[in-house]
Amino acid sequence: MVDSRVAADGIGVVIFSLVLAAILAAVPLPEWAIGLRPAWVPLVLIYWVIAMPHRIGVVSGWLVGLFLDVLTGAVLGQNALALGMVAYIAYVLHLRIRVFPVWQQCLSILVLVGIYQLVSILVMRAVQMTPWTFWYWVSVVVSALVWPLVSLALGYLRGHRGS
């Protein structure tokens, strides 16, 4: 039996999808494929901020970012800051992004994930010397290309959450 509170607001689906995205972000890949990994957590977070801005926002982004920092061993606060910023921008623009056609949503995702990546890179470079390479930006493009699939999958989950 599904708890009526969870089914009423869909928070269980949101938490499940964010945890799954964090696991996908932490799964080890061969070195040649690391740059091709989409930014799963920002994609899922952006979807939920756009779809449920009354429930998912900056604090959610910050908490998910802290969880991702601990899970991946990143600098504590790196993903929290980046995801909080992306959640804020997505929240401010959610009414516009919702009505965009898919190709314009992909461009919006390109910018939002680019901001996430830029903040992450700047924090990493402030703490340790990391090389500034082209491969950081490939995942931004891959994320924008994957957005329609992520949006469809999460829309399906959102519409069929067990009523």
Q: Supply the pLDDT for residue 22.
A: 96
Q: Supply the pLDDT for residue 35.
A: 83
Q: Supply the pLDDT for residue 5.
A: 45
The pLDDT tens digits of the residues spanning 72-102 come to: 998 999 999 999 999 999 999 999 999 999 9
Decide if 129 contacts 148 (C-beta within 8 A).
no
The pLDDT tens digits of the residues spanning 94-123 come to: 999 999 999 999 999 999 999 999 999 999
Q: Supply the pLDDT for residue 141.
A: 96
Residue 160's pLDDT band (cuts 50, 70, 90): low
Q: Supply the pLDDT for residue 32.
A: 85
Which residues lie closer than 8 Å to 87 by C-beta, 6 or more apart?
45, 46, 49, 56, 57, 58, 60, 61, 62
The pLDDT tens digits of the residues spanning 9-45 come to: 589 999 999 999 999 999 998 988 888 999 999 999 9
Q: State how far the Cα of 106 lies from the Cα of 145, in Å rounded to an integer.
A: 7
Cα end-to-end span (Å), the chain: 10
Amino acid at the residue 147: W
What are the helix (H) ranges across 52-134?
A: 58-72, 78-99, 102-127
Q: State how far the Cα of 155 lies from the Cα of 94, in Å rounded to an integer.
A: 15
Q: Supply the pLDDT for residue 104.
A: 96
Please state, for a pLDDT cut of 70, what percent of the chain lies above it: 92
Q: Supply the pLDDT for residue 9.
A: 58
Q: Supply the pLDDT for residue 1.
A: 39
